[in-house]
Structure 1
Amino acid sequence: MSRTNRLNCIIPPYLLKRLLESEDSEVRQAALDTMLTTARLRGERAVRASFAGVAAPGNGRRTVFDCEQGTFLPFAVLTRPEDGPESADDSVNRAFEGLGLTRDFYREVFQRDSIDGHGMRLDGYVHFGVKFNNAFWDGQQMVFGDGDGKRFGNLTGSLDVIAHELTHGVTDHTAGFEYHRQSGALNESMSDVFGSLVKQWSLKQSAEEADWLIGADVWTPGIDADALRSMKAPGHAFNNPQFGKDPQPDRMSRFIHLPDTEEGDFGGVHFNSGIPNKAFFLTAVAIGGFAWEAAGLIWYEALKASSAEARFQDFADTTFHKAGELFGVGSAEQSAVQSAWQEVEVPVRGVPSGVARARSLAAEGNGGVGRQDGLAALSRHVSELGAKVAGLAKDVAALKAAR
């Protein structure tokens, strides 16, 4: 099976496996059915991968279909085209809106024409399967299950989930990160990063205001959990009897080594994505303001410049150099990138850690925590310097008069 064209699902396999241990037979059955269907779809995805390049351009037009609990997409019923009226089905409308917001984000923020950069049409399929506990991007379309209603709710209910899945398509058409080990964790992290940014952009939230949670709306109300993942605090998104404790690491010394197999999450791609996720969060908050304007741009340009086999170290170096190209060598933005990767124990190559820390402190403007604070500090320094120059000029004039 291709390592660049896997079926990308939002619910990690380790969560579904926990459901197989549930005392509720309906929950167990729904989890088993989800896993079996997903395994079958992965096989179909491997066949379809060779045709991935033939998706017809359509100016990013959206079309939503209703699977009516079936799992054979060609049998799905058209329910809402781009120019059609609003549906009576909330799932259809949520999917339609999420596809549009993601498309518009990439177009307006990065001038990217749909997922592939060439106007790829966006097809969404709702009500996939019976109590299907997942949503996925298969390389050509976005598919949503309804959830089992006991542990997971309808998967169209979370904008960052929709944007996460569609971003797998963006990654396919840019770096094409191979879906295993560190490159696979980067693949998952890119989807979390831009999934969160689409949500922040739609709400016009600053980095400080955002919750930095992925999939906060997928759990049913009876589940004590914040989200599927936390970019701000990997490893702390949930801790409950049904699913245990969030296993994501937040730094390299806690990296989880797993087999490069389906059972091993292809080397722990859903686990270790917490490390680059934390690096992005730290970068965005250090820069401040709207995260998509600087941190997001740096990550997007780094994504386009990366190779399929990139590891964390490679991506850290690329983001650092892109920050220098975009905002200037030694800029507050570049220093924020450098400091963030250092904190998750992936120091940028060629820059001593002491220098990184010193630059970071300087970029924060003596206690400020954002781009605006740094600019304010710079403005104060310029004013103070101007006052000193004016004072020296007066002293010089006084000396000349005395002579």
Structure 2
Amino acid sequence: MTPRDTSCAFVPPYLLAHIASTDAPGAERSRDTLVLDQEFRARREARTPTGPAAPPTAAWTVHSADNTTRLPGRPVRAAGQSESGDVAVDEAAEGIAATLRMFADGLGLASYDDAGAPVSLTVHYGQDYDNAFWDGVQLVFGDGDGKVFERFTKPVDVLTHEFAHAVTEHTAGLVYRGQSGALNESVSDVFAACLKQHLRGETAEEGDWLIGEGLFLPTVRARALRDMAAPGTAYDDPVLGKDPQVGHLDDYVETTEDNGGVHLNSGIPNKAFQLAAVAIGGTTLEGAAPIWLAALRSGDVRPTTDFAGFAAATVAVAGEHADAVRQAWAEVGVGLEVGAEPGRPGPGAPVGGSVVRVTRSGGFAGRTASGEVDLEADDPRASDVRHLVDRLDLASARGGPPMPDMFVYRFEVCGAPPVEVPEQQLTDDLAALARIVLARPDDLA
């Protein structure tokens, strides 16, 4: 059986990396966020809450990490308890309550596993952390840097997006790479948009189809993080760059970064869903969303299903709406015959014998960060990097499947074959090497 992905983050790594590469306000915090996600292993080692215990049968519990990276943190508020007065805690509480109600009452699903599993959430994760993720155990949210990103609990659809990754994990288990990974991302956006429209009382036609609206500070030229109705148009800003999402199979991005472009290519199934929802009419919760959930639970969607296979599964369960769903997929260039997934190109030019390069991709924003140090150059980082390289054993580095919205690191060391390591498998030495190489020299001065 293919291992199921168990972790996800909201901001794509390519967005964080673009911000980090500038001198704009928030760049330093974006670099910090890229590094902080290396500490996934540490998060699992310190699950020692020190606060009021949640009711043993609580449907959900919100914890505070108190700006550390220890999970789950201190219990603050659980289902049935009154507001805490902490804005992020209460936003998370209201968001998860609304999400669970929508899935239960509107879609007939009892929590993410359809067995009423209690949901654990953590806020105030890290220091000015620019991300949110599901780690296979709980939902985790940063406070944002206050320069580019707001609190990640502020837009409720961010929370629903991460919760939906857990739904996918417990249904089809879509592998987080290439087309199946883009479908994994898209499914999360589908249910995020569904909740947003449901809370606003909108029909599919009335919805704005924006994901992460309100996540950016007002000074940033961005309507949201993604636009399901018009992929590639959500933002165009000097710090963020231009939204790189695509919305048609002809424009499919073949890349080794971001787990094969899962955040870039998710715009294709996103657009198909938006077209289907509007064509079916009425509310998304009553129209298109049950079809997508039924496909996930049908058994026809397997961990490595591609766009065409997923399209066929949605048409098969669409009933009277089959023609509308088929036409929606056709408009984004996806036919119903299961085909080979577009290939991913090989790595770029190899590094030289004295160069150490680290590339990090993934994360909710889907951005990629890359850095290199020439051990023979006048670089203040060279001494520390050389010390780490001398004791590294890359041959024994642990690989494994990527996790949704978490990061994957590619290490290229002095001409040796490149090695990819998911962040949850980073050793202390690899984490330190990534931190140094991804930082700019003057950041470590």
Note whether the superposition's TM-score is higher than 0.5: yes
Counterpart check, 1:334 vs 2:322: yes
8 Å contact from structure 2 (residues 6, 134) kept in 1: no
Q: Residues 45, 197 of structure 1: CA spacing in aligned structure 2 closer, same or farther, 3 A cutoff?
A: farther
Aligned equivalent of 1:268: 261
State the partner residue of 2:350.
none
The 1-side partners of 2:306 and 2:74 are apart by 42
Cα distance in 2 for partners of 1:22, 1:279 equals: 34
Counterpart CA distance in 1 for 2:211 and 2:77 is: 27
- Choose from 183, 199, 202 the match for 1:202: 199
Match of 1:185 among 179, 182, 185: 182
User: What are the equivalent positions in structure 2 for 1:52-201 lying under 5 Å apart?
Assistant: 61-74=59-72, 76-201=73-198
Amino acid at match of 1:20: A
Shift in alpha-carbon separation, 1:59–1:194, aligned structure 2, 3 A: farther
1:278-293 to 2 correspondences below 5 Å: 278-293=271-286
Letter in 2 for 1:13: P
CA contact (8 A) 1:60 1:119 kept: no
Residues of 1 paired with 2:249 and 2:44: CA distance? Answer: 31
The alpha carbon displacement at 1:5 in A equals 2.2
Question: How many Å apart are 1:241 and its aligned residue?
Answer: 1.1
Q: Unmatched 5+ residue regions in structure 2?
A: 47-54, 339-445
Aligned-residue sequence identity (percent) comes to 42
Which residue identity does 2:324 align to in structure 1? Answer: A
SS at match of 2:304: coil
Match of 2:381 in 1: none
**Which whole-Å deviations, capped at 9, do the CAs of 1:197-253 have from their partners, x for residues lacking one?**
011112221001111000011101110111100000001111111111111111100
2:218 maps to what in 1? 221
Superposition CA RMSD, Å:
2.0
| Superposition deviation, residue 14 in structure 1 | 0.4
Task: Using the TM superposition, give the Cα deviation of residue 90 of structure 1 relative to its aligned residue in structure 2, in angstroms.
Answer: 1.2
Tell me the amino acid that sits aligned with residue 119 of structure 1.
G
Residue identity matched to 2:205: E
Q: Give the aligned residue type for 1:161.
A: V
Instruction: Tell me which amino acid in the other structure corresponds to 2:269.
Output: P
Counterpart selection for 1:313 from 301, 308, 314: 308
Q: 1:35 matched to which residue of 2?
A: 34
1:374-400 Cα offsets, whole Å, 9 max, x none, are xxxxxxxxxxxxxxxxxxxxxxxxxxx
SS of equivalent residue, structure 1 residue 79: strand
Structure 2 Cα separation of the partners of residues 190 and 339 of structure 1: 19
Give the aligned partner of residue 7 of structure 2: 7
Deviation per CA, 1:62-110, whole angstroms, max 9, x where unpaired? 1111111111115x22211212221111111100000111111110012
- Greater strand share, structure number: 2
SS at match of 1:156: coil
Asked whether the equivalents of residues 315 and 322 of structure 2 are also in contact (C-alpha less than 8 Å), the reply is yes
- How has the CA–CA distance of structure 1 residues 46 and 73 changed in structure 2, closer, same or farther, with 3 Å as cutoff? closer
Offset at residue 7 of structure 1 (A): 2.8
Deviation at 1:60, TM superposition (A): 6.5
Q: RCO (CA 8 Å, sep 6+): is it higher in 1 or 2?
A: 2
The answer to whether residue 342 in structure 2 is matched with residue 345 in structure 1 is: no
Tell me how far apart the structure 2 counterparts of residues 131 and 243 of structure 1 sit (CA, whole Å): 17
8 A contact 1:106–1:113 mirrored in 2: yes
5+ unaligned residues in a row in structure 1: which ranges?
49-56, 325-330, 351-403
SS of 1:201's partner is: helix
Task: Show CA shifts across 1:318-337 (max 9, x none).
Answer: 1111113xxxxxx3x11110
Residues 1:16 and 2:10 are matched in the alignment: no
Q: Do 1:279 and 1:344's aligned partners in 2 also have CA atoms closer than 8 Å?
A: yes
- Classify 1:47/1:35 alpha carbon distance in 2 versus 1 (closer, same or farther; 3 Å): same
Contact 2:130 2:145 in 1 (8 A): yes
Please report how far the alpha carbon of residue 294 of structure 1 lies from its aligned counterpart in structure 2 after TM superposition: 2.0
Please give the secondary structure, in 1, of the residue aligned with 2:26.
Answer: helix
1:54 maps to none
One of 210, 224, 235 as aligned partner of 1:238: 235
Alignment-derived partner of residue 52 in structure 2: none
Instruction: Check conservation: 1:45, 1:138, Cα contact below 8 A.
Output: no
Distance in 1 (CA, whole Å) between partners of 2:288 and 2:164 is 16
SS at match of 2:76: strand
Deviation at 1:303, TM superposition (A): 1.1
8 Å Cα contact 2:44/2:71 also seen in 1: no
More helix, by proportion: 1
SS at match of 1:73: coil
Comparing 6-15 with 159-168, which one deviates more in the overlay? 6-15
TM-score between both structures, scaled by the size of structure 2: 0.71
Equivalent in the alignment of 2:398: none
CA offsets, 1:118-141, max 9 Å, x none? 111111111111110011111111
TM-score by length of 1: 0.78
Given that residues 183 and 312 in structure 1 are in contact (C-alpha distance below 8 angstroms), is that contact kept between their aligned partners in structure 2? yes
Query: For this pair of structures, how many residues does the alignment match?
Result: 327
Q: 1:119 to 1:106 in 2, by over 3 A?
A: same
Rg comparison, structure with higher value: 1
Does the aligned pair in 1 maintain the 2:42–2:69 contact within 8 Å?
no
The 1-side partners of 2:188 and 2:282 are apart by 21
